[in-house]
Amino acid sequence: MKITLPDGTIVPALGQGTWFMGESKAAEQQEIGALKLGIEHGLTLIDTAEMYAEGGSERVVGKAIKGLRDKIFLVSKVVPYHADLQGTMTACEHSLQRLQTDYLDLYLLHWPGSIPIANTIEAMERLIKQGKIKRWGVSNFDVADLQAVDSYIQNRELMTNQVLYNLSRRGIEFDLLPWSRQHKLPTMAYSPIEQGRILSNPKLNDLAKQHNATPAQIALAWVLRNHDIIAIPKAATQAHVLDNLKALNIKLSNDDLAFLDNAFPAPNWKRPLEML
Ligand SMILES: NC(=O)c1ccc[n+]([C@@H]2O[C@H](COP(=O)([O-])OP(=O)(O)OC[C@H]3O[C@@H](n4cnc5c(N)ncnc54)[C@H](OP(=O)(O)O)[C@@H]3O)[C@@H](O)[C@H]2O)c1
C-alpha cells in the first residue's frame, strides 16, 4: 500500500516509528534488528526526531540504515523551541550527524510553538536549497494552524501533517481529517495502536479473533482502511514488526467498520487536537 505526497513522491503507507528507541544501550541491538527487519519487508519510511532520547533515537536509526540509505524515506523533526531560522538550520545539522546521512527526505516542525512559522519555513526552504532536506511538513497542527500556512499547502510544498490518530483518538475525523483531505494534504498517523493501550479492549480482541489476527493488526488495518493515511507504529521487537506487517493484508468489511464504530465511537463535536 502506497501514498503519494503532494510533490508526487510515493511512500509506503506503513512505516516505522522510533520514539523511546535509543534510551538504553542494552536495547540497541534489538532496536536496530527490528528496524532492519522492517526495512527488508518494505517498511522503509522511518520516523524519528531530535527530541527522542535526546538524539538517541536518531543515532539508532543511523546505525540501522547504514548501507541502506537510498532505500529509506527518512523523516525527522525539529522541536519548536529550536525552530527559528538559525536554530532550525543547526538542529538539522545535528540530526544529520546523528543519523550519519547528508540529507533528510522529510523534515517536520514537531508541534506549533511561539516562534513565527514564517521563520521556520524560511529555514526549511534554505535547507532544501542546500540539499540537506528534500521536503518539509508539520506535526500536531490543528485546522487553524494549517490555515495559517494554507498557501504552502495549495502550492504543494507542505508534504504532510503528522498527528495522533487511532481507534481511541478519532478527534481529527470531525474537522482536521476532512479539511486535510479537501486540501489534498496527506495525514501521517502517530501512535496508531495508542502505545499498546487499546490492545486489551475486549471488542477489538473479538474482532481480531474473527479475522484470525491480533488486535494490533486490526488497529493498524483500521488506520490504513481508506488508503490515504500513513501509519508509523513503533516496534522494537522483530515479532511486533512481523505482526504489524500482516495488517497490510487485512481488509475490514463494512460490518467490521460498523462494529469498530460502535466500540470506539467517532466524535460528533469539535475537540482540540490531542497530542502525546
Ligand atoms: N509527532 C509527534 O508528536 C509524535 C508523537 C508520538 C509518536 N510519534 C511517532 O509515532 C511513532 C508511533 O507512536 P508511538 O511509539 O507513540 O506508539 P505506537 O506505535 O502506537 O505503539 C508503540 C508500542 O506498541 C508496541 N507494539 C508495537 N507493535 C505491536 C504489536 N504488534 N503487538 C503488541 N504491541 C506492539 C511497541 O512495543 P515494542 O516497542 O516493545 O515492540 C510499543 O510499546 C513514534 O514511535 C514516533 O516515531 C510522533
pLDDT of the chain along its 276 residues, tens only? 999 999 999 999 999 999 999 999 999 999 999 999 999 999 999 999 999 999 999 999 999 999 999 999 999 999 999 999 999 999 999 999 999 999 999 999 999 999 999 999 999 999 999 999 999 999 999 999 999 999 999 999 999 999 999 999 999 999 999 999 999 999 999 999 999 999 999 999 999 999 999 999 999 999 999 999 999 999 999 999 999 999 999 999 999 999 999 999 999 999 899 999
Does ligand 1 have an atom closer than 6 angstroms to the CB of 162? yes
Active site residue 103: no
For residue 111, which amino acid is it?
W
Does ligand 1 have an atom closer than 6 angstroms to the CB of 112? no
| Environment class of 7 (CB within 10 Å of its CB; exposed 0-12, middle 13-18, buried 19+) | exposed
Q: What pLDDT is recorded for position 253?
A: 98
Q: What pLDDT is recorded for position 271?
A: 87
Predicted TM-score (pTM) of this structure: 0.98
Dig out the grid coordinates for 189 from the structure.
498517523
Query: Which residue's CA is minimally distant from atom 37 of ligand 1?
Result: 235
| Environment class of 100 (CB within 10 Å of its CB; exposed 0-12, middle 13-18, buried 19+) | middle
Give the distance (Å) from ligand 1 centre to CA of residue 77: 16
Does ligand 1 have an atom closer than 6 angstroms to the CB of 31? no
Mutate to test the pocket of ligand 1, among 167, 190, 241 (most ligand atoms within 8 A of CB): 190
CB 104 within 8 A of CB 76: yes
Give the distance (Å) from ligand 1 centre to CA of residue 137: 20
For residue 119, which amino acid is it?
N
